[in-house]
Structure 1
Amino acid sequence: MKKPLPTVPAVCVYAGRDGLSHLADVDLPALAQVTDEDGKVRFVGSTGATVMGFVVGTGPTGEDWHRASMAGLSIVVSGSWEIEAGSGDRRQLETGSVLLMLDTEGQGHRAHPLGDGGCTMLGVGIDEVTRAAFTLLVPPK
């Protein structure tokens, strides 16, 4: 019997049919690491990324409602921040947390760094094929 691939827990912000944004816990598929006979390591199951970059938040810059400009991942590198959905759900994301942003339409979300040290995140835009696959992980609302 084939062993299932591990997953990575994430929080997803997405637009519901009700027009509000919602938060849901999802499990993102992890890559399989394979070592070839020649000793080279490759990864199986990778997904498409379009852009990436670091974002440093030090103040209440995201307190207004806003949507993600593209579907993607936001990975907390240092510090922590809070995200709020229109449904009223809130989550604190600590170092190592992953946010899947699928709310490119609808109401959007609010977010702000916590504490005095700010928050650094790695943002990764995902392609449409990856977005479609990740959307299937979200419960319908």
Structure 2
Amino acid sequence: MAIVRVYTGDDGQSHFEDIVPKFIKVENRDDDTWPQDGRELIHEPSGTLARRFDNKRSNPWHHAPGRAVVFTLQGAVEIEIGDGTKRTIGPGDILIAEDMTGQGHYTREVGNEDRISVFVPMKEQS
């Protein structure tokens, strides 16, 4: 997986910067509704994060903590909604997470590799 930043340097020229996620272990707080195994802040002003989820992880019924577009780069997750419908989200798939109230959803990692996803916060609707 490559994360490449292109930016203008002090010399007025464009430059590349390779960003290598460290996936810092995060201890879950009691009020944390979005547990994860590791995360790396990619772009601080926007709150964009890369997250790594252990392939044996499951997260019982919960809500999205905020509106986000989720790009799955590696691994896969099965998401179940209240009526029992299940969808598998895998590499190249994009999820728009907006169920911040109500019953929420249940997630189960599937497959043999950890899932790596990029979470991009969306503006709150007015």
Q: What range is the shorter-chain TM-score in?
A: 0.5 to 0.7
CA contact (8 A) 1:50 1:126 kept: no
Distance 1:64 1:128, change over 3 A: same
2:82 maps to what in 1? 86
What CA distance in whole angstroms lies between the structure 2 residues aligned with 1:56 and 1:118?
A: 7
- Deviation at 1:60? 4.2
Unaligned runs of 5+ in 1: 1-48, 133-141
- Distance in 2 of aligned mates of 1:68 and 1:123: 11
Which structure has greater helix proportion? 1
Counterpart for residue 110 of structure 2: 114
Count of matched residue pairs:
82
Q: Secondary structure at the match of 2:75?
A: strand
Scaled by the length of structure 1, the TM-score of the pair is 0.53
Runs of 4+ off more than 4 Å = none
CA contact (8 A) 2:55 2:111 kept: no
Aligned AA (2:65): S
1:56 to 27, 43, 52: 52
CA-based RMSD? 1.8
Of Structure 1 and Structure 2, the greater strand share is in 1
**Which protein, 1 or 2, shows the higher relative CO under an 8 Å CA cutoff with sep ≥ 6?**
1
Stretches of structure 2 lacking an aligned partner (at least 5 in a row): 1-44
Identity %: 24
